[in-house]
Structure 1
Amino acid sequence: MSSEPSAARPASTILLLRDGADGFDVFMMVRHYQIEFASGALVFPGGSVDAADGDIIARPELFASAAADCEPALEFRIAAIRETFEESGILLARPRGSDQLVAASRAAEIEASHRTALCEGKISFAEILADNQLVMALDLLVPYARWITPEKLPKRFDTWFFLAEAPPEQLGMHDGKESTDSIWLSPNEAIEGGESGRFTLPFPTTRNLIRLGKQPSVRQALEASRGQPIVTVMPILSRDGDKRTLRIPAEAGYDGEVFEFTGS
């Protein structure tokens, strides 16, 4: 008798983009080799939705009220911004009452004072926002994709991918614990690194990089995705002898339907 699939844990990730001299770059990090999930892989900053993200919903002064009407559920957007701050130090927020993003110098001060404590659970993200009179810039997040781990795998996530233009002059830096390196690079450079063996790229990361690399600039990448329907992708894992494949919906807009699966 087959066992029931494990539950998929809600999660969020952000593809932070910035224009470069030739196209645009995306911020990525190398996961620590001792991390249980995607160890050693080159990934976008992100992580699981936690209870504290849900608690923030009861405090609308910490986010723009219009964001409550957006898809996906608000806690996914909140988690995306919190996890990005935890993992990269990049803060997508505005001073309360301002239309401008928090200045890079001020963001650096907040990162130096609170990031480690947040990662260690000594302070909440809500406290950081409230103490510094900040409002999350949830409107900057453009829903890009939704991937759910195949049912046959033991550790599963239901992950929303967002696009966002990185705040000017906030460069980002890995935390040295969950991630051991960080880099800004073009989508095509990341793909080429995966093909050459320089990087280890998870399957969803590769597919989203290929799709993103078809856009020539940050503005066009955001415009092409804004308001577009999101087709949920839950790959179907199949085995034929030693060969394993993943099938995804053609209407999701990726570069095919059936792919060889080489993961564990």
Structure 2
Amino acid sequence: MTVEAAARPASTIVLLRQAAAGFDVFMMVRNYQVEFASGALVFPGGSVDAGDRDIVGRPELYAGVDGSVGPALEFRIAAIRETFEESGILLARPRGSDALVAASRAAEIEAAHRKALCDGNIAFAQILADNELVLALDLLVPYAHWITPEKLPKRFDTWFFLAEAPPEQLGMHDGWETTDSIWLSPREALDGGDSGRFTLPFPTTRNLIRLGQQPSVAAALDHARAQSIVTVLPIMSKDGDKRLLRIPAEAGYDGELFEFSGA
């Protein structure tokens, strides 16, 4: 009897930055040597870990969100931690302040702790406590919920969040798990996928198309706040030599049935 792989909890943040015409998103190219989505252009993110669940039990380290509504707190915490690990961008406030941590201070914290965090030599909770920071969970707007199709060997239960990027925090790939990083419009990312410049995973493509329908950062965030999120668990099938994926029409994407290339 075949045992289905469990879907690992994961989170990703789609960071938005207003541009002269529309807005840009922050995306990263995954190293070809990593196991999952090698070489793909993706949003920063990754798996929920035990340290994220530990922070849930320490409410002095986060603020602004009712954990009983929407995605569980550990998904939100993981989204900010993974974004810091992969890009150096930190969505946090000094304790007692309404303003986000200054870009210069965020850069100091990144230089002092990012590598150690990635290497497992320090806990994210310790970084927050030692630097008197509070995670800005209220900045994360739930945008989408995707679960990898059944029967695949590696599966994720992933929440996508939108957030406006902190001013002057530009972000930089880590040089190992990700090998490049770029700010670009949703249209530019999609055009790069069509031309072969980028490899775009199926959920990334669908979310970029939907996001590209909005004219500004404010409009994208308002649209996300107003929508009801429908979980997407694609159903795989075949039509001759074609592999197909079906997603719920009510999820609000650009169709229901798609030919699937494997990315």
Question: Do both proteins adopt the same fold according to a TM-score greater than 0.5, normalized to the shorter chain?
Answer: yes
Matched residues in 1 for 2:175 and 2:55: separation? 27
Question: Shift of the alpha carbon at 1:258?
Answer: 0.3
Is contact 1:67–1:139 with CA below 8 Å preserved after alignment? no
Q: 2: distance between equivalents of 1:156 and 1:58?
A: 27
TM (norm. structure 2) is 0.98
Correspondence 1:128 to 2:124: no
| Displacement over 4 Å in runs of 4+ | none
| 1:175-254 to 2 correspondences below 5 Å | 175-254=174-253
Gaps of 5+ in 2: none
| Aligned amino acid, residue 156 of structure 1 | R
Cα distance per residue 1:218-237 (max 9 Å; x no partner): 00000011142110001001
SS in 2 for 1:15: strand
**2:2 aligned with 1:10:** no
Deviation, 1:65, is 5.7
CA contact (8 A) 1:93 1:101 kept: yes
Measured in 2, the distance between the counterparts of 1:5 and 1:194 equals 31
| Count of residue correspondences | 263
In structure 1, the gaps of 5 or more residues are none
Return the alpha-carbon distance in structure 1 between the equivalents of residues 172 and 223 of structure 2: 28
Where does 1:106-145 land on structure 2 (aligned, <5 Å)? Answer: 106-145=105-144
Counterpart CA distance in 2 for 1:46 and 1:203 is: 16
Alpha-carbon shift at residue 30 of structure 1 (Å): 0.1
Aligned mates of 2:208, 2:96 — CA distance in 1: 35
Distance of 2:8 and 2:68 partners within structure 1: 23
Given that residues 152 and 237 in structure 1 are in contact (C-alpha distance below 8 angstroms), is that contact kept between their aligned partners in structure 2?
A: no
In structure 1, C-alpha distance between the alignment counterparts of 2:32 and 2:125, rounded to whole Å: 30
Q: CA deviation at 1:68?
A: 2.5
CA RMSD of aligned residues (A): 1.0
* Residues 1:31 and 2:30 aligned together: yes
Decide whether the 8 Å contact of 1:67 with 1:138 is kept in 2: no
Q: Taking structure 1 as reference, are residues 62 and 229 closer, same or farther at Cα in structure 2, changes over 3 Å only?
A: same
Aligned to 2:61: 62
Q: Is the 8 A contact 1:96 1:135 kept in 2?
A: yes
Cα deviation 1:29-78 (Å, max 9, x = unaligned): 00000110000000000000001100001110000164434310000000
Superposed CA deviations along residues 139-195 of structure 1, whole A, max 9, x for unmatched, are 000000000000021100000000000000000000001000000000000000000
Give TM-score scaled by structure 1 length. 0.98
The 3 A distance-change label for structure 1 pair 135 and 38 is same
Amino acid at match of 2:204: T
SS of 1:226 mapped into structure 2: helix
